[in-house]
Amino acid sequence: DWTTKDFIAHAVADIRAKVGKDRVLLGLSGGVDSSVAAALLHKAIGKQLTCVFVDNGLLRKDEREYVEALYKRNFKIDLRVVDASKLFLKRLKGVSEPETKRKIIGRTFVEVFEKSLRSIGGAQFLGQGTLYPDVIESVSIQGNPASLIKTHHNVGGLPERMKLKLIEPLRELFKDEVRQVGAALGLPREVVWRQPFPGPGLGVRVMGDITADKLAILREADAVLQDEMMKSGHYWKVWQSFAVFLPVKTVGVFGDERTYDYVIALRIVESIDAMTADWAKIPHDILQKISSRITNEVRGVSRVVLDISSKPPATIEWE
């Protein structure tokens, strides 16, 4: 019989036996899986664990500060935050094609991560929050974008290149079990029940080429959406809710002024496994609030639209 407490006790013993006096490096994204893996490894080996969080300039509002506050201050994890946002944005300059963006982001991530490994003086193990479904997926479903990009944070030749042994304490667990372990380890609800967020982040939510200005607008609009989703409790009921930046200018009026500004699309979906998805029927009064707050509070946006497409044929992300 599987109980969370037993699992944690066994996992801690296993990790200690496997790691010995060696060091473990883990890429922390702030998502559920890497967060629980970090908390579990930290419980087992404490200071022998170093986590690296890469700020790729494509994060949501206050994301980096949140991760720092939680892990560094609360959990006392040895967390290195690498601000590589300038490098990512430079490499992405003028690039519009979605898969090209993903490749650039993935490659740059690996490069930055390898550099931080050297700067901490090396490690023998690479910790990863691989789950049981990832183990199956990476062998069986090829060409599925969801499994494809797991390559960016997980697997994908990284450990071989970096000559590290893998340690994956969650690889026998399903998502709901991982959440239970996370809660038992003291991770807050916002982390344990966090919606998925793609590795390329806002990079695939700014349509077309990415600029700092567009990212800034998207970040503010997205923060309003998340705030209202949290306040109304709908955040916890849907699979994902996020804003998308459309580089299309439309006319509006603000006070007595004519405006000519961008469009924000709201993508809010229900799903079980992201393979199929339905657009979520959020109550109109909440949508109204989100829309009026975005058009009033976010400079550069004159119009908000709602995406009412299901997957298939529309994917969850717009790129």
Contact with ligand XMP (CB under 6 A): which of 30, 127, 129, 198?
198
What's at 209, amino acid-wise? D
- Chain positions 32 to 71 lying near ligand XMP, rule: CB under 6 A, are none
Q: Determine if 18 is a binding residue for ligand XMP (CB under 6 A).
A: no
Q: Determine if 149 is a binding residue for ligand XMP (CB under 6 A).
A: yes
- The window from 111-119, 120-128, 146-154, 210-218 that contacts ligand XMP (CB under 6 A) reads 146-154
Q: Determine if 169 is a binding residue for ligand XMP (CB under 6 A).
A: no
Cα–Cα distance for residue pair 228/251, rounded to 1 Å: 26
Q: Which long-range contacts (CB under 8 A, 24 or more apart) does 304-309 make?
A: 304/221, 304/263, 304/264, 304/265, 304/266, 305/246, 305/263, 305/264, 305/265, 305/266, 306/265, 306/266, 306/268, 306/279, 307/244, 307/265, 307/266, 307/267, 307/268, 307/279, 308/279, 309/279
Contact with ligand XMP (CB under 6 A): which of 27, 30, 169, 200?
200
Q: Which residue is nearest to ligand XMP (CB)?
A: 149
The annotation status of 157 as a binding-site residue, yes or no, is no
The annotation status of 31 as a binding-site residue, yes or no, is yes
Q: Which is nearer to ligand XMP, 152 or 303 (CB)?
A: 152
The annotation status of 34 as a binding-site residue, yes or no, is yes
List the beta bridge partners of residue 311.
277
Binding mask 300-319 for ligand XMP (x = CB under 6 A): -----------x---xxx--
Distances (CA, A) of 133 to 51, 170, 220, 256: 24, 11, 34, 55
Q: Determine if 263 is a binding residue for ligand XMP (CB under 6 A).
A: no
Kindly state the tokens that stand for 178. 């991982």
Chain residues that interact with ligand XMP, rule: CB under 6 A: 102, 145-146, 149, 152, 196, 198-200, 240, 274, 311, 315-317
**Annotated binding-site residue numbers for ATP:** 29-35
